[in-house]
Amino acid sequence: MPGPILKFENVSLSYDGKLVLDKINLTVNAGDTFILLGAAGSGKTVLLKLAMSLIQADTGRIELLGHDITHLKETELFGIRSEVGVLFQEGGLFDSLNIADNVAYPLRNQKKLAAPEDEIAARVQESLDFVELGHTLDKFPSELSGGMRRRVGIARANVTNPKISLYDSPTAGLDPITAHTIMSLIVKQRELRKTTTILATHRYQDGAMAANYHWDDAIHDVVRAVPYGTYAALDTTFIVMNEGRIVFSGTQQQLETSRDPYVSQFVLHQPPPKIGPSGDRGQQLSV
Amino acid sequence: MLDYLKSPVQSFQDFLYLAARSIRNVTKPPIYWKDILMQMDSIGVGSLPIVALIGAFSGIVMTLQMSRALATYGATSQTGQVVSISIVRELGPVLTALLIAGRNASGIASELGSMKVTEQIDAMRALGTDPIQKLIVPRLIATAFMQPLLTAIADFVGLLGGLIIAVTVIGNTANQYWSSAIDILAINDMVQGLMKPFVFAIVISLVGCFYGMRTSGGTQGVGLSTTKAVVVSSVWVFVIDVLITQIFVSLT
């Protein structure tokens, strides 16, 4: 489609007098992958919610799939939202519905996606098979583990074949093995269905995986596209947020070589080294 | 002082806005019949045993208390009248409303509050449903329909409780009690007795939904919303009771 899929122009938002997003500018084109890195409270979730107008910006303009959604009414937004897949932080599954009904929810409730029940059942099955949970149709979310709930969330986000998928901290609180599975599914979705992807996370590994892994048809799995130590060209942009501002935007290579103390924490997995009294750690960094 | 008042005034304004949107949506499609029936079952059928029990006890206590006062004037034969007027006009509607506020406003607030803090409400909006239409309207319709019925049952059971005491303790005949209880009731009392629970129901369900939908701050926030929903809806029950009673008193 012509033009960007998602565009933020000078978007600001405050809660109770505190600025949570400060003049955000962002352009996401079709096929892009954006990795939003940031500490808790840096504004990642708010940015994703603004992207589908679940909350309203104070100032600025947001364009989604060619529509200016900044001031649209809730009823006008439903049609546009039907082309967006979203995975909420804890999965956001409905406790009162079983897994099949949870995944079928967007198909049954989005007017634009209305389909006969047998077609819905087939698509639900396909979407759950995609996340390897095709056997859990009749279970309830409370019967599944945290990782499985996220996978169901991914199935529900993508059952509609969205043009863009938003993932809010999909690996938060998961063990490394499950986190890897979740990221593989996100990469698989992006590669097989050409979905534009925005991923908010605080784990640099997630971003590194999205940037360097692809779907290999021959072995039918998600694998590294290039050898370790090199960078794949998979249209992945890293964005680092701090207190509502974008403090870095660039490629993985640029991120890894950044000297900014806040930004480099996400790559190093630790706070920047403290400067000793002798000052023998090189140039002093100001925080 | 003005800052102190700002927050409650803002909350009240938000409540009125939500109430107006919810009431306007009652007739708008889509109407989620399945949700309405499920709520009717939970609010109406679920509350029936406790409403009947409290109704019976209030009738019994009323009769016991009144018997002494009536005996002073030698008017124990009028027991039915006193019991029936006080139950149908006042005790039935108010006690039922307080029970519904305690049982259902809290249930609604905690359910919606949990959905809010676990992002299920956001998910609902993201996936194409209006939470007002899907969550609030069914609870509003179910409560507004079931509460007058529950009140009628509470009134009836209360009169039966009164009958037991009137016959066994005071020495009235069943016939005497029933005829004095029924004869005294005018159309005004019936309208008042059913109008009150209808208005109470609207307020109780909307207050429960309002506090549920504005929950924030995790599980602690859910507890806080639940408490507020019960306290605020109970207070409103008494305020509205005074208003409606005054309207009917001035009509007669």
User: Measured between CB atoms, does A16 come within 8 Å of chain B?
Assistant: no
What would the pLDDT profile of B176-185 be if each residue is shown by its tens digit? 888 888 888 8
Residue A235 is assigned to a structural domain of this protein: yes
Tokens of A255: 């991120």
Q: Which phi and psi (to 5°) does residue A224 adopt? A: -65, 135
Residue A95 is assigned to a structural domain of this protein: no
Using a pLDDT cut of 70, give the percent of chain B over it. Answer: 100
Residue A134: which of A150, A117, A151 has the closest Cα? A151
Residues of chain A with pLDDT under 70: 1-2, 234, 269-287
Give pLDDT, residue B138. 94
Residue A149 is assigned to a structural domain of this protein: no
In this complex, which of B115, B123, B128 lies closest to A110 when CB atoms are compared?
B128
Residue A178 is assigned to a structural domain of this protein: no
Q: How far apart are the first and last CA of chain B?
A: 42
What would the pLDDT profile of A86-119 be if each residue is shown by its tens digit? 999 888 899 989 999 999 998 888 877 778 888 8
Q: B113: which residues sit within 8 A by CB, 6+ positions away? A: B211, B212, B215, B221, B222, B225, B226
The tokens 């701090």 sit on which residue? A242
User: Measured between CB atoms, does B118 come within 8 Å of chain A?
Assistant: yes
C-alpha to C-alpha distance for B128 and B3, rounded to whole angstroms: 38
Residue B112: list chain A partners with CB under 8 A.
none
Residue A105 is assigned to a structural domain of this protein: no
**Taking CB atoms and an 8 Å limit, are A54 and B120 in contact across chains?**
no
**Taking CB atoms and an 8 Å limit, are B123 and A111 in contact across chains?**
no
How many distinct structural domains can be found in chain A?
1
CATH code at A75?
Answer: 3.40.50.300
**Taking CB atoms and an 8 Å limit, are A93 and B120 in contact across chains?**
yes
Give pLDDT, residue B104. 92
Q: How far apart are the first and last CA of chain A?
A: 42
User: Measured between CB atoms, does B24 come within 8 Å of chain A?
Assistant: no
Give pLDDT, residue A281. 44
Q: Where are the domains of chain B?
A: 33-251
Give pLDDT, residue B51. 93
**Taking CB atoms and an 8 Å limit, are A95 and B129 in contact across chains?**
no
User: Measured between CB atoms, does B45 come within 8 Å of chain A?
Assistant: no
The tokens 């303790």 sit on which residue? B169
Q: Are A21 and A50 in contact (CB under 8 A)?
A: yes
Give pLDDT, residue A272. 58
Q: In which domain, by residue range, is A209 found?
A: 1-80+196-287
Work out the pLDDT band at B235, boundaries 50, 70, 90: very high
What would the pLDDT profile of A240-285 be if each residue is shown by its tens digit? 888 888 888 888 888 888 888 888 887 776 665 555 555 444 444 4
Residue A202 is assigned to a structural domain of this protein: yes
User: Measured between CB atoms, does B124 come within 8 Å of chain A?
Assistant: yes
User: Measured between CB atoms, does B220 come within 8 Å of chain A?
Assistant: no
Residue A117 is assigned to a structural domain of this protein: no
Cis preceding linkage at A271, omega within 30: no
Cβ atoms within 10 Å, residue A15: 11
C-alpha to C-alpha distance for B34 and A101, rounded to whole angstroms: 14
Q: What stretches of B26-136 show up as alpha helix (H) in DSSP?
A: 33-40, 46-72, 79-86, 92-100, 106-117, 120-126, 131
Q: From the DSSP assignment, how many helices (H) and strands (E) are in chain B?
A: 12, 0
**Taking CB atoms and an 8 Å limit, are B128 and A81 in contact across chains?**
yes
User: Measured between CB atoms, does A70 come within 8 Å of chain B?
Assistant: no
Residue A88 is assigned to a structural domain of this protein: no
Residue B114: list chain A partners with CB under 8 A.
95
Give pLDDT, residue B232. 93
User: Measured between CB atoms, does A54 come within 8 Å of chain B?
Assistant: yes
Give pLDDT, residue A276. 53
Using a pLDDT cut of 90, give the percent of chain B over it. Answer: 54
**Taking CB atoms and an 8 Å limit, are A92 and B129 in contact across chains?**
no
Cβ atoms within 10 Å, residue B72: 8
Cβ atoms within 10 Å, residue B155: 26
